Amino acid sequence: MIISFEGGEGVGKSTHSKLFCNHLQQRGLPWLSLREPGGSSFSEQLRPLFFEQGLDHLTELLLVLSSRRENITKLIEPAVAEGRIVVIDRFIDSTLVYQGVLGGIGVERTRQIMELTGTWREPDLTFVLDIDPARALKRIRPGDKFENQAIGFHEQIRKAFLELASQKRHVVIDADRKHEEVSRDILAVADSFLHV
């Protein structure tokens, strides 16, 4: 089983994916967590290249997909086969939104490229953490080339995630609340999904 956490910058994906893994641990459920871009040791080495300034969007896409291919073959599929719950901080939806929509490659074309390259793997459940970017950006100190973009970019990211989230596997979570409240909602949805 694969569960992904998605959303714009500063929405709390890393915090909530960690809280979620703690919860799985407490319930005695086996899990594996990773982030993208990154994950396997090869993919972590690729991460700084992905953040280089001035890459065109197709190059970004190819980099993140090489990283994902390694993750899928070396980490994700073996863990799923062992019955572990794989928790991923950003996955295919970030690619559809950042490279597909914002990068102009197109959602459908990006999805096709993923299918053709063995990097299209749909999670079973996806949490989309949602906050008004004007508020979310106050929670972080902008560092990388995406975080440093103007507010209009972040508003488009939010809109694209919400449009994408109309699929069945997505659950949109209002993340503009205290961590405990957000986490409580996430755990309730996950527990009912996992039947625990």
- Per CB under 6 A, residues contacting ligand TMP are 9, 35-37, 64, 90, 94-95, 98-99, 146
Find the shortest distance in angstroms from Cβ 7 to ligand TMP: 9
Find the shortest distance in angstroms from Cβ 37 to ligand TMP: 5
Find the shortest distance in angstroms from Cβ 112 to ligand TMP: 15
> For 91, phi and psi rounded to 5 degrees?
-155, -140
Closer CB to ligand TMP, residue 172 or residue 194? 172
Helix, strand, coil percent content, the chain, rounded in steps of 5: 55, 15, 30
Find the shortest distance in angstroms from Cβ 99 to ligand TMP: 6
Closer CB to ligand TMP, residue 66 or residue 95? 95
Tell me the C-alpha distance between 149 and 145, whole Å: 7
Closer CB to ligand TMP, residue 36 or residue 70? 36
Q: How many CA atoms lie within 13 A of 194 on its CB side?
A: 22
Token pair recorded at residue 114 = 């993923």
Going by the DSSP 8-state scheme, the letter that residue 84 receives in this structure is P
Find the shortest distance in angstroms from Cβ 146 to ligand TMP: 3
Closer CB to ligand TMP, residue 29 or residue 62? 62
- Rounded (10°) CA dihedral 111, 160, 169, 79: 60
Find the shortest distance in angstroms from Cβ 27 to ligand TMP: 26
Cα dist from 195 to 47, 99, 160, 188, 191, whole Å? 35, 35, 30, 10, 6
* End-to-end Cα distance, the chain: 14
Closer CB to ligand TMP, residue 94 or residue 183? 94
Closer CB to ligand TMP, residue 84 or residue 89? 89
